[in-house]
A and B are shown apart, each in its own frame.
Chain A
Amino acid sequence: MKLHAGGYLAFFLPDRTSPVEFPLDHPVLLKDILEQLRVPISEIQMVSLNGSQVDWNALLVSDSDVVHIISAVDGG
């Protein structure tokens, strides 16, 4: 699974680097992966799975999935 962190969420990923490759041999709850990575749930504003926004509360992700987690994004 490929995890992209948008906004300031890359700050919380290992080496503060996005994207992160996360090999999965079976579907796993995204929430569990984020907890393992210590990404604070409170900072996630939106999740998209393979290009579509999803309700990620009970989202299962698989090895071939591309997931974007996005924080609050402000002006530039």
Chain B
Amino acid sequence: MIGQSEKILRINLTTGTISTEILPDDFYRLYPGGKALAGYILLNELPANTPAFSPDNVLVFANGLLTGAPVSTATRYVVSAKSPLTDGYGESEAAGFWGPELKMAGYEAIIVKGKAEKPVTIWVDEEQVEIRSAEHLWGKPTEEVQTIIRQEMNDDKIRVLQIGPAGENLVRFAGITNDLRHFNGRNGMGAVMGSKNLRAIAVRGNQRYQGKAVAPDRLMGLGRKLAKAVRENPLSWDLQNRGTPGIVEPLNQGGILPTRNFQQGVFENVDAIIWEAYEKELLTARKSCYACAVRCKREVSLDGEVSPYGGPEYETIGAFGPNCGVGDLQAIARANELCNAYMLDSISTGATIAFAMECFEHGLITMEDTGGIDLRFGNADAMLAMIEQIALRQGLGDLLAEGSRRAAEKIGGDAPFFAMHVKGQELAMHEARGKYNVGMGYAISEIGADHLVVAHDPALANPDSITFKSALPLGIENAAPVRSLNAEKMKHFYILEKWGSFEKVVGLCFFGPAPRSFIHPDEVLEAVNSATGWQLEIPDLLKIGERATNMARLFNLREGFMRKDDTLPERIFQPLENGPLKGESYPRAEFQQALTTLYTLKGWNPESGVPTRSLLEDLSLEWAIPLIAEIES
């Protein structure tokens, strides 16, 4: 049954040992997969201050409670380890097919420790688990590796999770892909995998989720209802119709489309990269993740051939388009292909190149440094060349492969001002000066600048809107302005962060539950209870999310992070240069006050940001109480 006798797979690549473990039922109720399970394992099994590339780093692949359920958007899994980009708690989620397949193979999680002597893959076919040589795969692009693995196993339905050459080369923002089109992009989890000489994990399974659900008919009925609802709700309809590329134009209209390394909020060549251009120039089909009716993924054609890697999402368009000053959709699509073939996080890659472009324009990086590449904003060829250099750690790319924070420290001068990161991770393509709680999310997220901590501010700005009303069951009471950090906004943040964290625990995509999309909180609750029979209420779901967030927070505090690390790049406190928000900055003093308010709401020490003993007791994290003294000493 779901929630009972959940099994995890443990693999030590140094010794070659493979074992399975059954999670106690009462344990799983507190840590029902995903972010919660990963956080618990990292806090308890990874010694403090272990270097990210040490064989002792612990790499966790964790499904959520609902991953693989026959309910749209229940497709996600978490990859977690100490991050080589932030040196803190590392985490990245992906959808697609690999997580559901791992669930069908009978596993809730895979925990990888140690380091293989030579490159390997892991092959999981339910009870049969093998470590196999990957020496013949090392150095090859992701498409070729997936093809070889499927051919070797004589099965084209095998789900392949893998890194690319960027992960092999320990690029600190290397990602992980599954099925070539779904990405654990953020936080450098691909580099951790590469540091263990682990190229891929291929999975096959046949145990359907509904066969293990407590109330399968109820769950299937909910799945059918939600599949119909996708096209009846404007938010999910839009995700299906245009997908994330649809937000380029409205963000530009609002003056919050990050442009030229966040100097501006309006891009003058936006018409070349908006949805209408994408649909005309690139789009060939709309695709889906496992059992998901939203179908928000795009398939595109480049030079007359369908790309095996899918089409660029908004974040990729933003990072390689306006943020690099490039108004060329073909070049952006090519950048997307390169990132996915080498398996780089497209957000950090684009943002780091934008950082380098600004350094170049200020003379901090010279033509000599670039090997003759004219690395100015708007030079698409230079941008594409830098992607390859980063992935292969060639030339200037070797420095940029360290991420913008480390590169800026080496370059010196004004370079740190141009590095748009929090805790070492580059900002996603959302302008905090126009969405204040997005800024708070960047600042406080345990993984560094993350745009998926809370639903974005406009969702709760109008009390009559669909999005606001859909958030009422979560405990949201009053609307609040988009550009405000008042007490009401901090309440929004406090509640929505728990909800977002819960989604990462149970394996729901950000594009499923309200207020971001179409699944009402009561329907999320029904899915959990139909799967497990636990009879939870919405506050119980929020507490699951809160517990996971606090474990990640404790991990970072143990590594030496402090309140001063919960901040934003200096540029965000400076005025935007153009557009409707020209002259507007993120309010520095209000931010500090809001941070104190938020810490207090969260049950953290308002000065230090350390969770209090009473909070840990309330979250059933008594075992973590000794960490408070350790951190405060």
Contact = CB atoms under 8 A, between A and B. Distances in A.
Interface in A32-48: 42-43, 45-46, 48
A74 B467 CA distance: 11
A73 interface: yes
Interface of B: 234-235, 237-238, 241, 244-247, 249-251, 253-255, 313-315, 318, 428-430, 438, 451-452, 455-456, 458-459, 461-462, 464-467, 482, 510, 516, 580
Contact of B456 (A10, A12, A74): A74
Interface of A: 4, 6-12, 16, 42-43, 45-46, 48, 52-53, 68, 70-76
Contacts of B251: 73
A42 B466 CA distance: 8
Nearest to A48: B253
A43 B234 contact: yes
Contact of A74 (B237, B458, B580): B458
Nearest to A51: B253
Given A43-B465, A70-B254, A75 B237 contact: no
Pick the most buried of B430, B452, B462: most chain A CB atoms within 10 A of its CB.
B462
B395 to A, nearest CB: 31
B339 to A, nearest CB: 16
A13 B538 CA distance: 35
Given A70-B250, A72-B462, A73-B254, 15 more contacts: A8-B237, A10-B241, A16-B241, A46-B250, A46-B254, A48-B253, A68-B249, A68-B253, A70-B254, A71-B234, A72-B467, A73-B250, A74-B459, A75-B428, A75-B510
A48 B461 CA distance: 18
Contacts of A16: 237, 241
Nearest to A4: B249
B234 A70 contact: no
Contacts of B253: 6, 46, 48, 53, 68, 70
B95 to A, nearest CB: 13
A43 B452 contact: no
Contacts of A74: 247, 455-456, 458-459, 516
A50 to B, nearest CB: 11
A45 B462 contact: yes
Given A43-B234, A45-B461, A75 B452 contact: yes
Contact of B250 (A7, A11, A52): A7
20 contacts: A6-B249, A6-B253, A7-B238, A7-B250, A11-B234, A11-B238, A16-B237, A42-B464, A42-B465, A45-B461, A70-B254, A71-B234, A71-B250, A73-B251, A74-B456, A74-B459, A74-B516, A75-B428, A75-B456, A76-B318
